[in-house]
Structure 1
Amino acid sequence: MRARVSNELCRRIESDIVEGRLLPGDRLDEQGLAKRFGVSRTPAREALLRLADEGLVKFKSRQGAVVASMTPQRAIGMVEILTALEAEAAGLAARRMTDVERTALREIHRESAATVRSGDTAGYIKLNTAFHEAIYAGARNVSLADLVTETRLRMRFFRHQSLSRLARLAASFDEHARVLAAIEAGHELEAQQAMRAHIAVGGTVFADMVASIDLE
């Protein structure tokens, strides 16, 4: 029972961070969280510890838990790591995806077109996640999928914020189209190149956003 409460609390705090209701540097008071969500302090503490393990929360002396910050240097480093991981996943997917999986990936991309036209950022973000996760699954490499998922999690707040910009939404959709075409054609190198370009462009927006905020 306590584990379930802690997991739910963790999910709700994570949602607040990802959607910008909690910003980098904001304090996360154990007692305040317990009162806000109607739970005891124990699951609140457990949730904060779990979020710290995931890199979303940091414990500072004399401050307690705060939403984790990120320096521009660290942001650039994470973008470089994510670019390499995503490119490798796309290349493997071009080699290993089944026809059924390629059809499913094409359908996700088709559905996302409507969200771009309507400016539905929340809808696009959801389908963007589904698009990339379908590629990880098609790559048939669990270790690679775990690494890229962990890296994306640590960058999630800023990446979601960057996709809230309509111009970036349309550009991301076009970049996905190039990745999709390469995977459907089974061209491993082209899939890697298309994905590398996609992540690099998004990463530049991400790094610029980090640099614009006084994080440390």
Structure 2
Amino acid sequence: MTDDQDTHLVLERLLRLRDRREPLVAQIAEWVGAGIIEGRLEPGQDLNSVELSRRFDTSRTPVREALMLLEQEGLVEMKARRRPRVAAPSLQDIRDIYQVRRQLLAMLASLLVERATDAELAELRGRVERMRKVADSGDVDGYFWAHVQLQERMTEVVGNATLKQILDSLALRTLMLRHLSLTRAGRLAYSIDDQERLLQACEERDGELASALIAGATVRALRAVEEQLEQDAARNRKPVRKRGAAAS
């Protein structure tokens, strides 16, 4: 499976694009959503409805509907008398998200140890082995989407519908941040090492260790995001935006 297929499957599910009667709205939402997540569209960047209409050879109505769909998921900001723009969460918002995510993933790892069959763990091991090859090649996008699919598969194996629903509610807000963390030098190697250690703990049926490993990996990912935001702020000669404060 290519990373383009992974991108499509993940966004189709999280944005519930199969439920959309207008295929063009789904197409626009997927293109803009992937651009935001993969960093081609940067936080705070204007989203020009006219340019998007030209790109997709359509009127502005499907574009607006697609952007409204992304707004509901926290990827786009739409305010009166202003152009839509890519959402730019504050540093505190990001820390809050990761704090919640760390606890949820620790629970996921514990349940994975408890509920996964040997065959399911072998399947997850195969995914991680393929991810190692992608990481070694330096393909950030390919590794990122494979990692997203890995965690989605873990939630399916665990079978806790409530946990899956909560993780899904945060998913689109975190995908952009998760991708950003992997762009830092050395992060692909750290990440795949984390996945291998996690799978080993699961295979050894050590739920406490598995929970600690995935929580630690989440903290390291947050630190990578913080470092990248600080670097970007220094380059742009402006401070990282705090919650409730306007960007300078």
**What TM-score results when the alignment is normalised by the length of structure 2?**
0.81
**In the alignment, which residue of structure 1 is the partner of 2:115?**
96
Separation in structure 2 between the aligned mates of residue 157 and residue 14 of structure 1, nearest angstrom: 9
Residue type of the partner of 1:73?
Q
Unmatched tracts of structure 2, length 5 or more: 1-19, 234-239, 242-246
SS in 2 for 1:47: helix
The answer to whether the Cα contact below 8 Å between 2:44 and 2:85 also exists between their aligned partners in 1 is yes
Return the alpha-carbon distance in structure 1 between the equivalents of residues 37 and 146 of structure 2. 16
Structure having greater relative contact order (Cα 8 Å, sep ≥ 6): 1
Whether contact under 8 Å (2:124, 2:150) holds in the other structure is yes
User: Counterpart amino acid of 1:5?
Assistant: L
**1:79 counterpart = 2:79:** no
Q: SS in structure 2 opposite 1:60?
A: coil
Within a 5 Å distance, the mapping from 1:140-179 to structure 2 comes to 140-179=159-198
Stretch of structure 1 that moved more, 90-99 or 157-166 = 157-166
Q: One-letter code of the match for 2:177?
A: F
Q: Deviations over 1:132-156 (max 9, x none)?
A: 1222112211221222233232122
| Alignment coverage as a number of residue pairs | 216
Contact 1:9 1:44 (C-alpha < 8 Å) held by counterparts: yes
- Which of residues 212, 225, 228 is equivalent to 1:206? 225
Match of residue 13 from structure 2: none
Answer yes or no: is 1:50 the counterpart of 2:50.
no
Q: Counterpart of 2:237?
A: none
Displacement of 1:74: 0.7
The answer to whether the 8 A contact 1:2-1:43 is kept is no
CA RMSD for the aligned pairs?
1.8
Q: Match of 1:12? A: 31
Residue 104 of structure 1: CA displacement?
Answer: 0.8
Q: Does 1:107 align with 2:145?
A: no
For residues 53 and 96 of structure 2, the distance between their equivalents in structure 1, rounded to whole angstroms, comes to: 35
Distance 2:64 2:229 in 1: 28
Structure 1: runs of 5 or more not aligned: none
One-letter amino acid matched to 1:209 = Q
Alpha-carbon separation, structure 2, partners of 1:6 and 1:125:
25
Task: Report the Cα offset of residue 160 of structure 1.
Answer: 0.9
How far apart are the structure 2 equivalents of 1:91 and 1:138? 12
Report the alpha carbon displacement of residue 101 of structure 1 after superposing the two structures with TM. 1.2
